[in-house]
Amino acid sequence: MHVRPDNPLIVQGDGKVLLETKHKKYEEVRDFLSRFAEIETSPEHLHTYRIHPLSLWNAASSGLKRDAIIEGLRSYSKFDVPPDVLTRVGETMDRYGLVKLVTHPTDATLLRLEFATAFIAKTIGNLKSVQELLIPDGSRYFAVQGGHRGIFKQRLLNEGWPVEDLAGFLPGDPLPFELRDNMVGNGKPFVIRDYQQASADRWFQEGQPSGGHGVIVLPCGAGKTIVAIAAMQKVQQHTLILATNGAAVQQWVREILDKTTLTPNDVGAYTGDSKEIRPVTVATYQILTWRSSREKEFAHLHLFRDRNWGMLVYDEVHLLPAPVFGATADVQARRRLGLTATLVREDGREGDVFSLVGPRRYDMAWQTLEERGFIAEARCFEVRVDFTKAARVRYENTREAEKAHMASANPEKLPALATLLKKHAEDNVLVIGTYLDQLKQIAALYRAPLITGETPGREREVLFQKFRDGTIKLLIVSKVANFSIDLPDANVAIQVSGSYGSRQEEAQRLGRVLRPKKNGAWFYSIVTRETKEQEFAMKRQLFLTEQGYRYHIQEAGQPAVTK
């Protein structure tokens, strides 16, 4: 066995990969691993990653080669990499592209399956999960109905066979427009950043049948809306955009009108308050999944069929609701763009995103964008508070299911919050939480406005605008502010409670303060020490740790960290 003690990596036979965080090559190796492995634990000195088939297939679809992964593991490892791990990596990577969907040469209602070998064709043909979908197509091929395109890809992925979809897309109704930087006249110009243009180009893959579907992964504040607008400009067809809430819808409408030659007659909002169906329609996931208590069907899923869409955009695709997966499976002949800061889904349905929206086409590390000045330098802190002695006794005797809530709502968080607000009295501060009683208490204590899911859309927008223009410097917000809210001047976020171990929520909340600013950004999470909440906090922090952020642990009552 060869031993290279100066290397930072240990690859185990079970597929786990251990990375020393204090090593001089830590950042280099972390960025390498993040392209094809998922972080599982992040104690201070040794981070644990696991290599998953789906992460390898996403890496393959984004252009990473098997030999690059194998050579990287070998060159960074302290010890010889177990041969069976290298074999599994190679065989898994090689599976991407062995099964292809292509246009049928003679029947427009069918899609033809192409296999790399006759053995693979026989293997797929014997899978019970897809046999009912397969149609014999001559002596060498199988075909599937065009309408079964999505469900076929789902089922085959579950069997361990990722399908490379090269069948192309139906044209939607045309929608010619230009970007403002190309305008001749008084339009306000803007510049698309190089990575935003590269994202749109990689997704579209002009002239290639594999282009026009897939996911772009960029940090919050990196301008994913601009990526979508650049992609729309390439497609030039009617577009349906799905966003997380009404405020996000209005933000999309503003950005499209501000940065393109499209007019208000071209761009409509489809929400609980408005039902405009226009060449570019922006809807919420909530309206698409709404149904009355008396109805079995979702009342608004018809929106997918109401126009001849040429393109579908899924904002925050990691939150795509289950009923929308079903509708997406039925519209595989339309171009699809997913946007997200993290492909992590708390429900484990990353494979459905891969099958139905498309594989990862482009990503960029958060730290890379921070170093280039495109997102703010962020400092992350976990501020730990304790229970009172009496509360600690009650906590220990509380039912397991209620402990996280009790720890999250700990009244001892209020003095810690007061210290942070005093420290950041001149800053633009968001206090974010999950439990409404806690947030109402904080809002009353500081006479600050509170935005929750019950706040009317118009009132929310007024408060957000006051925060943007500096009239309000402290805003208390519930989970409604996790997603797609444009508050560029916010530079401090204080999280007083979170959703259990949600890694995606942690990333989104940090994202609220990542727009570039001169003095950087501050993110605090106030956590009750030695409780379920502290355990969940460690899980929430995993994704950001993988991206290169370090959480500084500070006990409440210690001197505040100097700005």
Task: CATH number for 370-555: choose from 3.40.640.10, 3.30.465.10, 3.40.50.300, 3.40.50.740.
Answer: 3.40.50.300
Please give, one letter per residue, the 3-state secondary structure of 49-93.
EECCHHHHHHHHHCCCCHHHHHHHHHHHECECCCHHHHHHHHHHH
Given a contact cutoff of 8 angstroms between Cβ atoms, the answer to whether 5 and 74 are in contact is no
* N-term to C-term CA, the chain: 49
Q: How far apart are CA 176 and CA 48, in angstroms?
A: 49
Given a contact cutoff of 8 angstroms between Cβ atoms, the answer to whether 47 and 91 are in contact is no
Closest CA to 17 of 3, 44, 37: 37
Hey, what amino acid is at 494? I
Identical fold between 180-364 and 370-555: yes
Instruction: Give start and end residues of each alpha helix (H) in 425-482.
Output: 436-446, 457-468
Q: Into which CATH architecture does domain 180-364 fall? A: 3-Layer(aba) Sandwich (3.40)
**What is the torsional sign of CA 369, 371, 372, 376?**
positive
pLDDT value of residue 181: 66
Q: How far apart are CA 145 and CA 108, in angstroms?
A: 9
**What is the torsional sign of CA 335, 336, 339, 343?**
negative
* Run means of pLDDT, 10 residues per run, the chain, 563 residues: 85 91 88 86 80 91 90 94 93 94 93 94 94 89 93 94 93 93 54 92 85 88 91 96 88 93 95 89 87 69 87 89 81 92 77 91 80 82 93 93 92 95 92 92 95 84 86 88 65 85 68 73 91 83 69 68 47
pLDDT value of residue 185: 45
pLDDT value of residue 557: 61
pLDDT value of residue 559: 47
Q: How far apart are CA 284 and CA 247, in angstroms?
A: 10
Extents of the domains making up the chain = 9-95, 103-165, 180-364, 370-555
pLDDT value of residue 370: 80
**Pair of tokens at residue 2:** 């060869």
> Residue 531 to residues 44, 236, 302: CA-CA distances in angstroms?
19, 53, 46
